[in-house]
């Protein structure tokens, strides 16, 4: 959820080989009010991750599906991978051990994990030593790094995510399992792996799968429609390939993050903010990071034109506002129907940023301006350029 590294937006076009849904993009924004009755098959079938990746499908069987007994999810490709979960869990444990080094996590939307380091009481002595060694290794350096903004952490996450079917990371079993990661990191992960597998993985994997099973029906029903709506709004094609999502127990202080080269979404199944429809909104907020190019370009153009400083994170507030508003409409107009539980018990849908207190300080001001000048664009009443110009003029 934090902003991508500077410069990544400039290269983001490389990921956009073309739109998966060209016809959707021509529709007007008023489609937001329409019912999505059909489930389009994903336009670009995933190439299939070397036959070894575990890709989850919706549990829901549907009489309308046309493609075999399992209906793959559109838009996203969901994974619950062993190594990427272990990596984030060690990262969390190392940070918890550091205690209140929370000063770096006062960023908007950041939350301290509300838990204690795992208890090792009654573990075999060898397990305790192996686990503590691995946590100590993470504490030394990696735990102080940002999961997204640090390039090494991004590479580690990307590499481990594709190793999910591997029993080791050095390529001893098959060359496909040679991670290419630093030897000391590989050793720490391999040392911790049997302990993690014996004590925590089954429970965390189950939580990840349950989380996927909860969002899957929403993605089946609305994923294609919503991706088309967001591509329309942001004037960028939705990625032609399904977006890889790694569901992890711990997903950093924001509960989710997205790196752009390649587009890779990591989201926590355990973060209480990601429950129900909010998990669905967060997925699309995260995916929107890959579509933000026209927005960031227009913001810098309009502010430079007026010789005004570009307000920090304004583009990110706009992304939150937009996804939240579109999901709210889909809920309100019945395009999506949810159980009360999926709505987290609420009868109306309060978008994520409002629900979790992101609109404070400068963001409160941003929200007022977005209500005034961006909402008319989402309603189809003014053009993208007009909305951007008015936002910059009144900021």
CB of residue 291 to Zn ion, shortest distance in Å: 12
What is the residue whose two structure tokens read 């709505």? Answer: 343
Does position 42 interact with Zn ion (CB under 5 A)? The reply is no
CB of residue 193 to Zn ion, shortest distance in Å: 31
Q: Which is nearer to Zn ion, 93 or 296 (CB)?
A: 296
Count the site residues for Zn ion by CB under 5 A: 1
Residue 260 phi, psi dihedral angles, 5° rounding: -105, -10
CB of residue 285 to Zn ion, shortest distance in Å: 6
Residue 244 phi, psi dihedral angles, 5° rounding: -75, 130
Q: Which is nearer to Zn ion, 1 or 188 (CB)?
A: 1
What is the number of other CB atoms lying within 10 angstroms of the CB of residue 54?
Answer: 14
CB of residue 316 to Zn ion, shortest distance in Å: 6
Q: Which is nearer to Zn ion, 1 or 283 (CB)?
A: 1
> SS3 for the chain, per residue?
CCCCCCCCCCCHHHHCCCCCCHHHHHCCHHHHHCCCCCCCCCCCCCCCCCCCCCCECCCCCCCCCCCCCCCCCCCEEEECCHHHHHHHHHHHHHHHHCCCCHHHHCCCCCCCCCCCCCCCCCCCHHHHHHHHHHHHHHHHCHHHCCCCCCHHHHHHHHHHHHCCCCCCCECCCCHHHECCCCHHHHHHHHHHHHHHHHHHHHHHHHHHHHHHHHHHHHHHHHHHHHHHHHHHHHCCCCCCCCEEEEEECCCCCCCEEEEECCEEEEEECCCHHHCCHHHHHHHHHHHHHHHCHHHHHHHHHHHHHCCCCCCCCHHHHHHHHHHHHHHHHHHHCCCCCCCCCCCCCCCCCCCHHHHCCCCCCHHHHHHHHHHHHHHHHHCCCCCHHHHHHHHHHHC
CB of residue 2 to Zn ion, shortest distance in Å: 7
Q: Which is nearer to Zn ion, 1 or 219 (CB)?
A: 1
Q: Which is nearer to Zn ion, 217 or 252 (CB)?
A: 252
CB of residue 148 to Zn ion, shortest distance in Å: 10
What is the number of other CB atoms lying within 10 angstroms of the CB of residue 46?
Answer: 16
Q: Which is nearer to Zn ion, 162 or 318 (CB)?
A: 318
Q: Which is nearer to Zn ion, 79 or 285 (CB)?
A: 285
CB of residue 319 to Zn ion, shortest distance in Å: 6
CA distance 229 to 378: 10
Residues 175-204 interacting with Zn ion (rule: CB under 5 A): none
CB of residue 264 to Zn ion, shortest distance in Å: 14
Q: Which is nearer to Zn ion, 217 or 351 (CB)?
A: 351
CB of residue 258 to Zn ion, shortest distance in Å: 7
CA distance 117 to 143: 14
**Per-residue mark of binding to Zn ion, 1-40 (x: CB under 5 A):** x---------------------------------------
Residue 354 phi, psi dihedral angles, 5° rounding: -75, -40
Which residue of the chain is nearest Zn ion when measured via CB? 1
CB of residue 54 to Zn ion, shortest distance in Å: 26
What is the number of other CB atoms lying within 10 angstroms of the CB of residue 382?
Answer: 17
Q: Which is nearer to Zn ion, 139 or 288 (CB)?
A: 288
Q: Which is nearer to Zn ion, 169 or 247 (CB)?
A: 247
Kindly list the residues in this chain that would bind Zn ion in the complex (CB under 5 A): 1
């Amino acid at each position: 959820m934090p902003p991508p590294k500077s410069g990544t937006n400039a290269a983001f076009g490389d990921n956009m080989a073309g739109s998966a849904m060209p016809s959707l993009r021509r529709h007007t924004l008023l489609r937001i009010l329409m019912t999505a009755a059909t489930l389009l098959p994903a336009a670009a079938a995933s190439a299939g991750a070397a036959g070894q990746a575990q890709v989850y499908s919706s549990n829901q069987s549907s009489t309308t599906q046309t493609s075999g007994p399992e209906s793959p999810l559109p838009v996203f490709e969901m994974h619950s991978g062993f190594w990427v979960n272990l990596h984030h869990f060690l990262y969390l444990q190392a940070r918890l051990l550091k205690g209140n080094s929370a000063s770096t996590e006062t960023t908007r939307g950041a939350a301290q994990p509300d838990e204690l380091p795992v208890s090792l009481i009654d573990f075999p002595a060898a397990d305790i030593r192996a686990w503590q060694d691995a946590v100590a290794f993470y504490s030394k350096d990696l735990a102080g790094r940002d999961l997204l903004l640090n390039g090494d952490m991004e590479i580690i996450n990307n590499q481990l995510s594709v190793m999910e079917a591997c029993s080791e990371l050095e390529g001893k079993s098959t060359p496909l399992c040679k991670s290419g990661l630093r030897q000391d990191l590989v050793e720490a992960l391999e040392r911790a792996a049997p302990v993690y597998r014996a004590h925590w993985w089954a429970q965390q994997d189950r939580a990840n799968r349950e989380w996927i099973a909860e969002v899957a029906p929403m993605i089946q029903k609305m994923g294609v429609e919503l991706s088309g709506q967001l591509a329309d709004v942001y004037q960028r094609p939705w990625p032609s390939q399904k977006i890889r999502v790694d569901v992890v127990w711990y997903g950093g202080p924001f509960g989710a993050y997205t790196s752009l080269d390649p587009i890779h979404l990591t989201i926590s199944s355990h973060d209480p903010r990601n429950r129900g429809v909010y998990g669905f909104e967060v997925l699309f907020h995260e995916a929107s990071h890959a579509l933000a190019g026209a927005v960031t370009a227009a913001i810098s153009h309009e502010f430079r034109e007026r010789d005004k400083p570009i307000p920090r994170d304004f583009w990110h507030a706009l992304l939150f506002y937009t996804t939240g508003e579109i999901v709210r409409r889909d809920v309100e107009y019945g395009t999506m129907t949810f159980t009360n539980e999926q709505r987290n018990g609420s009868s109306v849908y309060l978008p994520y940023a409002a629900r979790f207190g992101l609109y404070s300080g400068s963001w409160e001001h941003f929200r007022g301006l977005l209500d005034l000048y961006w909402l008319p664009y989402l309603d189809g009443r003014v053009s993208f350029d007009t909305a951007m110009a008015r936002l910059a003029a009144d900021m």
